[in-house]
A and B are shown apart, each in its own frame.
Chain A
């Protein structure tokens, strides 16, 4: 089953050069992470060395070698959010979820990440949860926001 899904994605990138990052991004989107099987399979079918795939997958923040939670919480750590109190919002999220940035809660409910900039600087501090943006947050309002997810 997993292999089928991986193969289907690889099929789209067979005859092109320089596709590795795009291919991994698609696997990431589909699986929410890059499973070991995928790395092996890409190596077998595209003849790209495992070391190279691993290097790319570990270099970029958009690719994850660990499974991530049902809800992806991305706290903007950009400059505009920073000067408007972003670090305190991040502190609160870390406290509420009991994980640090880059970690996943034990129940696989939330993964917390920081991101360099979401480009909504007018609304800082900003958090993106599952693709939805939430702006002008405070340590107090973020608690309410997170409690709305299950």
Chain B
């Protein structure tokens, strides 16, 4: 392995990589990130390897294992090069056909292409798939092109050229200036101007200075950082090294939560490779600049993602926040000046250096520049990672890219910013998404979680869920957060159990206001958002729970009963056999009855009842009808054709 000692070494190396590449040579890119792994991509991969061997094609077809391509709902996904054909939901059974037909025969297999559910048309190119068409994938695009375990792939695409440019054509001040001019704001949630943060660390007294990558993506429902770190770790590393140069830092930390083992693995590999090539360590590219990076694994605490808490954790202590009247950018890890940025913030840096602040500034809105990656999840058709220019409306993201709500249900709200964000209702769907607009609506941008909720989601239960989460994750150091959330949880639990009292709403309001003003760190300060937004936009649901003891979305267990409609039940025994607590009476040809005493309301009967019958009803706010008398339960079957599709003999 050759150490690169100058920018021209790097350029030569890049040329060598590209020369060795035959652009016409067929290749398969397979997403092997965590999401597709759960869908069994490992077997698909293995089967491709075997098939290639079987057809004696070793050395003629490349297999590239890549990171997340974003459209997780339709995984496992593969891309066939050079034609760039995208196949979705690929199964082991499809492999041999793909190799013979597409890779060898250059023939497209229609059934594996993306079919637009509205028009029924298939899409051959990625740009024809609506999920991708409306995105601007500045950061995520390369995930489909690089094997994250190979630095050569990244360099071949122009990787580390921003580093060379920064180190050899710019002074640290110029780099800092460029970042400031780009108006990049922190992607972890705070939205603090990145350039200003860097500047204050650079100007602070104390040596050494540290730069830190925050990949403690503890926000449930968000996986943007995981995808970037798993899929393109060098882009983050390059940004970090450039930042270190601008700030004058000699050491860096990459804090990754241990729940992301693949991200840890790929990042460690990236660090090792960068060191080997002289892009990290002593005398980087012959510039005289030294910089080392270590990975620190987080042991599982949401609050440790807060900057001061994360820095305490880096010191090996319990990751609790501290008051920030002295900024961490001046006194951070071991009281030394430290700049901490989110994964996505760092990944933007090479782009800004290469293409310039002007270019970056041209994307986005007045106050929020560039693109933002969102993890679109919940009850939306196209779940996955979405990268859009700041300022796109929620409606466009959810409907144009996300394909609307699952199963044709009605949209109810979208939670942005994770547990500390707020739920935004339908009337604000046309608001542009940027830092300031979301704050105006009572929510936050956060790190980019976007959970879509439909009519079947109970907003009071959601508030309870988030408050419960935050209460568990509160470190307990300050009273307003520790005690306030505990009381709020108590009240919300009471309401969802049908034991809410008239004054509970005003009590919640009060607790929410005090916690947000008096808490020590952002966890407590923003913990009120889910309560305040649901109280503001979905007050009728609180009223229904408290006054009518009714859960309109039919979610809250204590307020819902399951009931089999005797007029619809076809006595197929499916629910009877699946009920985990034997609460259903019945037999073939005898209508089933739920014993309300025994029923644990697990919902299994509702789920297994064949769609043709829909005999299981959920009832809330009214008494369950009495069971039909024994003698009327027997079903007289007409001879044929009256059996629903899902019935089991």
Chain A residues close to B by CB (< 8 Å): 17-22, 24-25, 52, 55-56, 59-63, 76-80, 82-85, 88, 91-92, 95, 115-124, 126, 131, 133-135, 138-140, 143
State the CA gap A95–B582 with chains docked (Å): 13
Stretch at the interface among B104-112, B143-151, B272-280, B372-380: B372-380
- Whether A117 touches B465, Cβ cut-off 8 Å, given contacts A52-B317, A79-B451, A122-B384, is no
For chain B, residues 447 to 485, give those with C-beta under 8 angstroms from any C-beta of chain A.
449, 451, 453, 457, 462, 465-466, 469, 473, 475
Whether B607 is near chain A, meaning CB under 8 Å from some CB there, is: yes
Q: Other than A61-B299, A121-B221, A139-B604, give 13 A-B pairs with Cβ distance below 8 A.
A: A21-B313, A56-B317, A79-B418, A83-B457, A91-B600, A91-B602, A116-B302, A117-B221, A120-B38, A121-B72, A122-B377, A131-B261, A134-B38
Stretch at the interface among B84-92, B212-220, B235-243, B424-432: B212-220
Interface bits B377-397 vs A (CB < 8 Å: 1, else 0)? 111000110000000000000
Whether B34 is near chain A, meaning CB under 8 Å from some CB there, is: yes
State the CA gap A134–B38 with chains docked (Å): 5
Contact A115 B315 (CB under 8 A): no
Whether B646 is near chain A, meaning CB under 8 Å from some CB there, is: no
Contact A62 B469 (CB under 8 A): no
Interface bits B198-237 vs A (CB < 8 Å: 1, else 0)? 0000000000000000000111111100100000000000
- Whether A25 touches B578, Cβ cut-off 8 Å, given contacts A20-B317, A79-B465, is no
Contact A123 B72 (CB under 8 A): yes
Q: Please, which residues of chain B bring their CB within 8 A of the CB of A123?
A: 35, 38-39, 72
A89 CB to closest chain B CB, in angstroms? 10
- Whether A60 touches B384, Cβ cut-off 8 Å, given contacts A79-B449, A122-B35, A122-B73, is no
A55 CB to closest chain B CB, in angstroms? 6
Prevailing SS type, chain B contact patch: mixed
Whether B419 is near chain A, meaning CB under 8 Å from some CB there, is: yes
Contact B260 A119 (CB under 8 A): yes
Contact A80 B226 (CB under 8 A): no
Q: Please, which residues of chain B bring their CB within 8 A of the CB of A138?
A: 607
B277 CB to closest chain A CB, in angstroms? 25
Whether B513 is near chain A, meaning CB under 8 Å from some CB there, is: no
- Whether A84 touches B378, Cβ cut-off 8 Å, given contacts A61-B299, A138-B607, is yes
Chain B residues close to A by CB (< 8 Å): 34-35, 37-39, 72-73, 75, 217-223, 226, 258-261, 296-302, 313-319, 334, 375, 377-379, 383-384, 415, 418-419, 449, 451, 453, 457, 462, 465-466, 469, 473, 475, 578, 580, 600, 602-604, 607-608
State the CA gap A84–B299 with chains docked (Å): 27
Q: Please, which residues of chain B bring their CB within 8 A of the CB of A82?
A: 220, 465
Q: 19 interchain pairs (CB within 8 A)?
A: A17-B316, A21-B313, A22-B297, A24-B299, A25-B258, A56-B317, A77-B469, A78-B220, A79-B465, A83-B453, A91-B600, A91-B602, A95-B580, A95-B600, A119-B260, A122-B72, A122-B377, A126-B38, A140-B607
Contact B318 A83 (CB under 8 A): no
State the CA gap A47–B160 with chains docked (Å): 42
- Which 7 A-B pairs give the minimum distances between C-beta atoms? A122-B72, A78-B220, A133-B38, A60-B299, A62-B300, A121-B377, A119-B223
Contact A117 B220 (CB under 8 A): yes
B217 CB to closest chain A CB, in angstroms? 7
State the CA gap A52–B466 with chains docked (Å): 30
Q: Please, which residues of chain B bring their CB within 8 A of the CB of A85?
A: 603
Contact A117 B261 (CB under 8 A): no
Contact B377 A124 (CB under 8 A): yes
Q: Please, which residues of chain B bring their CB within 8 A of the CB of A126?
A: 38
Contact A79 B318 (CB under 8 A): no
Contact B258 A117 (CB under 8 A): no
Contact A117 B222 (CB under 8 A): yes
State the CA gap A112–B533 with chains docked (Å): 33
Q: Please, which residues of chain A bring their CB within 8 A of the CB of B608?
A: 140
State the CA gap A55–B313 with chains docked (Å): 12
Q: Please, which residues of chain A bring their CB within 8 A of the CB of B37?
A: 133
State the CA gap A117–B257 with chains docked (Å): 11
Q: Please, which residues of chain B bring their CB within 8 A of the CB of A84?
A: 378-379
State the CA gap A126–B34 with chains docked (Å): 12
Contact A79 B378 (CB under 8 A): yes
Contact A135 B38 (CB under 8 A): yes
Q: Please, which residues of chain A bring their CB within 8 A of the CB of B220?
A: 76-80, 82, 116-117
Contact B580 A92 (CB under 8 A): yes
Q: Please, which residues of chain A bring their CB within 8 A of the CB of B222?
A: 117, 119, 121
Q: Give A48's nearest chain B residue, CB to CB.
A: B316
Contact B603 A139 (CB under 8 A): yes
Q: Give A28's nearest chain B residue, CB to CB.
A: B299
Contact A88 B221 (CB under 8 A): no
Contact A55 B318 (CB under 8 A): yes
State the CA gap A24–B299 with chains docked (Å): 9
B322 CB to closest chain A CB, in angstroms? 15
State the CA gap A139–B261 with chains docked (Å): 27
State the CA gap A92–B601 with chains docked (Å): 11
Interchain CB contact (< 8 A) of A133 among B34, B384, B465, B578: B34
B574 CB to closest chain A CB, in angstroms? 10
Contact B299 A62 (CB under 8 A): yes
Q: Give B421's nearest chain A residue, CB to CB.
A: A79
Q: Please, which residues of chain A bring their CB within 8 A of the CB of B223?
A: 117, 119-121
Contact A121 B603 (CB under 8 A): no
State the CA gap A78–B626 with chains docked (Å): 38
State the CA gap A120–B35 with chains docked (Å): 5
Contact B418 A59 (CB under 8 A): no
Contact A63 B39 (CB under 8 A): no
Contact B221 A80 (CB under 8 A): yes
Q: Please, which residues of chain A bring their CB within 8 A of the CB of B457?
A: 83
State the CA gap A83–B261 with chains docked (Å): 25
Contact B379 A83 (CB under 8 A): yes
